[in-house]
């Protein structure tokens, strides 16, 4: 029985070629190990010094009290207790979530629709790409100051003048607790939709033309083509962009800071604005970093849940 083993089994039983000896330093060097290290060092040093170390330092600071001059004092969890008991925190969380939701409702479909529309264009696509990307070139603070002018609550303000032609307004815009966040979201959408549109456009180029041609032959219009071909084909990019947008909007700072400073009546105070105030107004770096750590943990959890959910979807 054992003498006449079938050829397949014989092959399987043959000893594998010996793997390269990983333990040998000489062979590791010969395989280019040093070159790899040399390439990695600048990256590790730069990331370590400018990204990872500040993160570790920030986490350390969240359990300390420091004035940046004296030696810091270890205070345990008291910074976390302090920020969690801040009566402004629920409002800032509510504002941040509302901003994120409004941004998704307004800011998420706009670049997707625009990219789909632009992908359908033949001749003027480059021109539209440039036009869409133009707001991104304007520095964020300049854009905000420009829109602040548009949002002037006076009847002579730009938007109020235009709306006045139709008998509407004048509106208080940034001066009203009800309209301040939507107003900021509209500006933010305008400011950032260009880069997202370009990314979607790039993703759309990977969709095979034959699919569209076949659909067109079958009589599918633009809506059905978008729904049944475009969106499923670029789903991966869309899901990643959605996650990035959630993370970005949860960290919104520049717009409320420059537009309103968090007002009126804290109606546009976001979590990051609170962190800024702790650090730079109150000089309380412990509280600022404690809230930053909490936000980072929350976003980490959101990202993990999101990935798990989308993996299941896929």
Partner 1 sequence: MRTATKRSSALAVLLALTLGAAACGGDDGQDDPTRPAADEEVDLDADVTIKVGDLPPASEPEEREFFEGQVEAFMQAHPNITVEAGEEIWDVQTFQAKLAAGDLPDVLAVPFTEANSLAERGQIAELSQAMDLAGVSADLNPDLVGLVSSDDGGVYAIPTAAQALGLIYNRDLFEQAGLDPDDPPRTWDDVRAAARQITEATGATGFATMTTENQGGWMLAAGVYSFGGTIENPEGSEATFADQPAADYLELLRAMRWEDQSMGSNFLYNAAGLVEDFSAGRVGMFIGFSGLYRPAVIRNEMPAERFGMGPMPVGGDSDPTALTGGVIQVVSPDATPEQRVAAVRWIDFFYLGQFTDETVAVAQASAGATAGQAVTVPERPAVSQEAYDQYFEWIAPYLNVPITNFDTYIQAFGEQTLQPEPAVKAQEVYSELDVVVQQVLTDEGADVETVLDEAATAVDRLLSR
Task: For residue 153, state whether it binds partner 1 (rule: CB under 8 A).
Answer: yes
How far is it, in rounded angstroms, from Cα 293 to Cα 313? Answer: 30
Choosing from 264, 302, 303, 306, the residue that interacts with partner 1 (CB under 8 A) is: 264
x/- contact string, 228-257, with partner 1 (CB under 8 A)? ------------------------------
Q: Does 95 bind partner 1 (CB under 8 A)?
A: no
Tell me 14's DSSP state.
Answer: S
Query: Interface with partner 1 includes 300 (CB under 8 A)?
Result: no
- Does position 142 interact with partner 1 (CB under 8 A)? The reply is no
Nearest to partner 1 of 162, 222 (CB atom):
162
Whole-number Å distance between alpha carbons of 122 and 141 = 35
CB of 74 to partner 1, least distance (A): 4
Distance CA 314, CA 311 (A): 5
**Which of 103, 196, 260, 292: binder of partner 1 (CB under 8 A)?**
260
Span from 34-42, 124-132, 150-158, 236-244 in contact with partner 1 (CB under 8 A): 150-158
Write each residue from 39 to 58 as x if it is in contact with partner 1 (CB under 8 A), else as -, in one continuous string: -----------------x--
HSE at residue 131, side-chain half, CA atoms within 13 A, is 8
The residue whose two tokens read 């070629």 is 17
Specify whether the CB–CB gap between 275 and 96 falls below 8 A. no
Please say whether the dihedral angle defined by the alpha carbons of residues 293, 88, 97 and 306, taken in this order, is positive or negative: positive
**Tokens in use for 165?**
């032609």
Residue from 1, 11, 22, 154 binding partner 1 (CB under 8 A): 154
64 binds partner 1 (CB under 8 A): yes
Minimum CB separation from partner 1 for residue 26, in Å?
Answer: 32
Binds partner 1 (CB under 8 A): choice among 106, 243, 263, 294: 263
- In sequence order, which residues have a C-beta less than 8 Å from that of residue 128 and are 6 or more positions away? 118, 121
Q: Is the dihedral angle over the CA atoms 174, 91, 248, 207 positive or is it negative?
A: negative
How many residues in the shown chain lie near partner 1 by CB under 8 A?
Answer: 42
Please report whether residue 282 would count as binding partner 1 according to CB under 8 A.
yes
Among 9, 25, 71, 313, binds partner 1 (CB under 8 A): 71
The CA–CA distances, whole Å, from 191 to 22, 24, 141, 144, 184 equal 52, 55, 10, 9, 10
Residue 53 neighbours by CB under 8 Å, 6+ apart: none
Q: Which residues bind partner 1 (CB under 8 A)?
A: 56, 59-61, 63-64, 66-74, 82, 86-88, 152-154, 170, 172, 174-177, 259-261, 263-266, 277, 279-284
């Amino acid at each position: 029985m054992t003498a006449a083993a079938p050829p397949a089994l014989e092959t399987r039983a043959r000893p594998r070629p010996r793997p390269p000896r990983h333990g040998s330093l000489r062979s590791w060097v010969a395989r280019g190990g040093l070159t790899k290290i040399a390439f990695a060092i600048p990256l590790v040093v730069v990331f370590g010094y400018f990204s990872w170390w500040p993160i570790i330092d920030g986490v350390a600071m969240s359990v300390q009290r420091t004035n940046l001059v004296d030696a810091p004092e270890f205070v345990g969890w008291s910074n976390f207790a302090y920020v969690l008991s801040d009566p402004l925190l629920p409002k800032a969380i509510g504002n941040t979530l509302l901003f994120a939701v409004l941004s998704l409702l307004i800011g998420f479909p706009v670049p997707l629709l625009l990219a789909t529309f632009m992908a359908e264009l033949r001749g003027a696509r480059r021109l539209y790409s440039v036009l869409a990307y133009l707001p991104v070139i304007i520095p964020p603070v300049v854009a905000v100051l420009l829109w602040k002018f548009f949002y002037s609550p006076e009847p002579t303000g730009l938007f109020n003048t235009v709306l006045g032609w139709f008998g509407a307004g004048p509106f208080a815009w940034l001066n009203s607790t009800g309209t301040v966040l939507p107003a900021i979201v509209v500006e933010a959408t305008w400011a950032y939709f260009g880069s997202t549109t370009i990314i979607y456009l790039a993703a759309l180029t990977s969709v095979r033309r034959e699919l569209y041609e076949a659909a067109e032959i079958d009589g599918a219009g633009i809506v059905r083509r978008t729904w049944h071909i475009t969106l499923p084909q670029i789903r991966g990019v869309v899901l990643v962009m959605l996650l990035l947008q959630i993370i970005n909007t949860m960290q919104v700072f520049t717009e409320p800071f420059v537009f309103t400073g968090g007002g009126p009546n804290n109606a546009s105070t976001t979590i990051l604005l609170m962190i800024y105030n702790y650090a730079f107004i109150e000089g309380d770096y412990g509280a600022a970093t404690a809230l930053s750590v909490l936000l980072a943990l929350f976003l980490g959890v959101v990202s993990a849940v999101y990935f798990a959910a989308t993996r299941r979807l896929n």
